[in-house]
Amino acid sequence: MTNQTNLVTESRIRLWADRLARLPHLTRVVLALAIALELTVLLSVVVDRLLIGAVVDGDVDPMTPALIAAVFGVILYGVGWWAMIGFDSDPRRPWEPGAPAVVYTAAGAAGLVILAALALFGLAFGYLL
């Protein structure tokens, strides 16, 4: 039964990877950027919550949370570029997205759901993030 489950999982990943491969190059670039920005915003909420006490006490420079979020944003965009666009410049064999692109896109979708839930939670209780 596990072999059949693995085949189904692999075929679904391949299906989604093929869908991503059919997207134009510019669309994949914009999608990687959008996912990186969204995950960076989500990460900045976490970093701000963790460091707010230290910033108020004066133990940490006020720019530190923004710098941490910016560094992780650049890293996330690099990972997205690698997964969705690739660094291969061989014109004879074009690069195609695979399982990492599917995982990156799924992480972006999950992050979007979490960010929307945080925003709705904040609106329901009178504060935003």
| 28-76 pLDDT tens trace | 999 999 999 999 999 998 888 888 888 888 888 888 888 999 999 999 9
Q: How many C-beta atoms surround the C-beta of residue 91 within 10 A?
A: 6
d(CA 41, CA 44) in angstroms, rounded, equals: 5
pLDDT at 92 over 80: no
Distance, CA of 46 to CA of 48 (rounded, Å):
5
What's the pTM value of the predicted model, to 2 decimals? 0.81
- Angstrom distance (rounded) from CA 108 to CA 111: 5
- With a cut of 90, say whether residue 77 has pLDDT above it: yes
Instruction: Give the range with max mean pLDDT: 5-14, 84-93, 116-125.
Output: 116-125
